């Protein structure tokens, strides 16, 4: 069975109460529960990991116990060469998700260290973006071209 790691960066543990006008009222647990149901329907196995620490996210990638990754690196998207290098090192396909559209926000959010190495970047769809990412990866593995 295809194994997909769902990697969540800093402050996403506060979803539900964090700037709800921007990020919505769903908690991270609720988003993950809904994704887990979707994954079951698609016959894909998910593992979830959230950290506020850059190195912990890098360490999780180094375990390489997955076939693909869905990542919302949050603020590290805009700063982390370490995370970019980790993705290049493990060399698995990944889809980048952002609840908001960072390109429509402050200029410092227009810098993105993952976008050009991701197979897809989904922005501005709220939690539906994670489901779109899951569909993309599931289809890719179904077609056997991963
Ligand atoms: C975010 C966008 C980032 O700029 C921000 O730092 C986040 C969340 C999003 O999901 O829209 O923490 O990744």
Q: What is the CATH number of the domain that holds 89?
A: 3.40.50.9100
Nearest CA residue ID for atom 3, ligand 1: 74
pLDDT at 143: 83
Average pLDDT over residues 60-72: 98
pLDDT at 145: 54
State the chain's mean pLDDT as an integer: 97
Residue 94 has pLDDT above 90, yes or no: yes
Position 144 confidence tier, pLDDT thresholds 50, 70, 90: confident
Count of domains for the chain: 1
* DSSP structure string for 77-125: GGT-HHHHHHHHHH---EEEEESS-GGGS-GGGS--SSGGGSSEEEESS
pLDDT at 62: 98
**Containing structural domain, residue 90:** 3-142
Question: 99 CB less than 6 Å from ligand 1?
Answer: yes
Q: List, for residues 112-121, the tens digit of each pLDDT value.
A: 999 999 999 9
Query: Among residues of the chain, what percentage have pLDDT more than 90?
Result: 97
Tell me, in angstroms, the distance from the centre of ligand 1 to residue 141's CA.
27
Give catalytic status of residue 76 as yes or no: no
Of 81, 84, 71, 91, the closest CA to residue 114 belongs to 84
Give catalytic status of residue 131 as yes or no: no
Question: Within a 10 A sphere around the Cβ of 81, how many other Cβ atoms?
Answer: 9
Task: Say what the pTM is.
Answer: 0.97
Question: 129 CB less than 6 Å from ligand 1?
Answer: no
Average pLDDT over residues 74-79: 98
């Amino acid at each position: 069975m295809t194994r997909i790691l769902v990697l969540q960066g800093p402050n996403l543990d506060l979803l539900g109460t964090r700037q709800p006008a921007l990020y919505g009222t769903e908690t991270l647990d609720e988003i993950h529960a809904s994704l887990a149901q979707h994954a079951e329907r698609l016959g894909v196995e998910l593992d979830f990991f959230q950290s506020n620490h850059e190195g912990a996210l890098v360490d999780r990638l180094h375990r390489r116990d997955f076939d693909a990754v869905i990542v919302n690196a949050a603020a590290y998207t805009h700063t982390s060469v370490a995370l970019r290098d980790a993705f290049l090192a493990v060399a698995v396909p990944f889809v980048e998700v952002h609840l908001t559209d960072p390109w429509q926000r402050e200029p410092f959010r227009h810098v993105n260290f993952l976008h050009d190495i991701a197979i897809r970047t989904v922005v501005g769809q709220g939690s539906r973006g994670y489901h779109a990412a899951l569909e993309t990866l599931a289809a890719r593995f179904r077609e056997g071209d991963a």
